[in-house]
Structure 1
Amino acid sequence: MERIVVLGNGGSGKSFLSEEIVKANGNKLISLDDLFWEPDGFNTKRPKEIVKSDIERLKVKSNWVVEGVFGALAEAFMPYSDFVIFLDIPWEVCKASMLSRARQGQTDESLNRLIDWCAEYYTRDGKNSHSFHYALYEYFSGNKLRLESRTQVNEWLENINQARSHLTGYQ
């Protein structure tokens, strides 16, 4: 697994899972939030030309994990990916995760807007939707995995960590 795309709703655990994969495999983490938004937070979008240029530069490199909800950006990485993980986690779990984490500079108002936007994930149209993420997952012809609960995520992580331990000789 050298090039991995992790898709899912806000609060589904994309960042957590991606960080764990990076720890295990040494891949470079590419957050679609970081590509889409200016560094000062989630208020200003980066210029489309710069985002496109960054994607063109990054997608041809090896050993990356791309994670995020921005389906149009993830779609650009798909032809270069050798593994796709779709975190198809229930909304109640995603919402609880979002409420339990605080991001630097996040206000109650911005958190509520984010929760409202993420709640629409399962019903909205467009490339930032459950239906589009599912279509990307379904049409991907390489290795792929759909995880539908925190238990499945943790079991999968345990399995890859055990496999890595056996390969490196550590128990």
Structure 2
Amino acid sequence: MNLTRTLIIGNSGSGKSWLAQRLAEQLRVPWTDLDRIHWLSDEHSIARPRNEALGMARIAADEERWLIEGVYGWIASELLSRATALIWLSLGDEDCVANIRRRETQDDERLVALLEWAGSYRKRDDSSGFAAHQRLFEGFTGSKIQLMDWKEITDFASEVGTIPIS
């Protein structure tokens, strides 16, 4: 599997950041979280202008080696032509909601909205929903893998050290 330029997609709470951090360390590549590009603030309340976000994502993807992760299919679709590998974390919505509950310390309106959004992944028809991610995955011609549960994700993370980079 050619992991030179790896894109990770999946629902909120699917483990994208967890996996990205480990792969970036093992592969010694820069890691970009698309939340930091999409949102202007840490509170996830103000979205960055679309063209500005796409420009920032393209700059990250212009590097020779990288790992980029996020839920935003509209950004991911712009980066696929540069990616050598696509990893789709397609855990069940219930698992993603449970993961979010475990990691979040605050119980506020933002958390409630995030839980509702993550719980609707398979029903949403936007660019960040299951169907859109499935289309990205099916259309990608490079190295790709779909990981469907936490064991597959952790096994993959532990095996990366044995996978040749190119």
TM over 0.5: same fold? yes
Match 2:84 to one of 79, 82, 85:
82
- Large movers: runs of 4+ above 6 Å: none
Structure 2 distance, partners of 1:112, 1:52, is 28
Structure whose alpha-carbon radius of gyration is higher: 1
The question of whether the paired residues in 1 share the 8 Å contact of 2:24 and 2:30 is answered with: yes
What code does the residue aligned with 1:160 have?
V
Alpha-carbon distance, 1:122 to partner: 0.4
Letter paired with 1:100: R
Say which SS state the counterpart of residue 80 (structure 2) adopts: helix
Determine whether 1:146 maps to 2:146: yes
Tell me, in whole angstroms, the C-alpha distance in 2 between the residues paired with 1:76 and 1:44: 22
Structure with the bigger percentage of helix: 1
TM-score relative to the length of structure 1: 0.89
Partner of 1:12: 14
CA gap of 1:40–1:158, structure 2 versus 1, over 3 A, is closer
Q: State how many pairs are aligned.
A: 162
Aligned partner (choices 54, 64, 86) of residue 52 of structure 1: 54
Query: Residues 37-58 of structure 1: CA distance to partner in whole angstroms, max 9, x if unpaired?
Result: 0133201111223212212322
Amino acid of the structure 2 residue aligned with 1:79:
S
- The CA distance in 2 between the partners of 1:63 and 1:79, in whole Å, is 14
Task: Report the counterpart of residue 71 of structure 2 in structure 1.
Answer: 69
Gaps of 5+ in 2: none
Deviation at 1:107, TM superposition (A): 4.4
Tell me the secondary structure at the aligned position of residue 121 of structure 2: helix
Q: Distance in 2 between matches of 1:124 and 1:47?
A: 22
Q: Distance in 1 between matches of 2:146 and 2:42?
A: 33
Q: Using the aligned pairs only, state the percent identity.
A: 27
Given residue 42 of structure 2, which amino acid in structure 1 is its aligned partner?
A: D
What is the TM-score of this pair, normalised by structure 2? 0.91
Q: Higher RCO, 1 or 2 (CA under 8 Å, sep at least 6)?
A: 2
Q: Which runs of 5+ in 1 are unaligned?
A: 165-171
Structure 1 residue 27, shift from structure 2 partner = 1.1
Partner residue, 1:115: 115
- Whether 2:19 is the aligned partner of 1:40: answer no
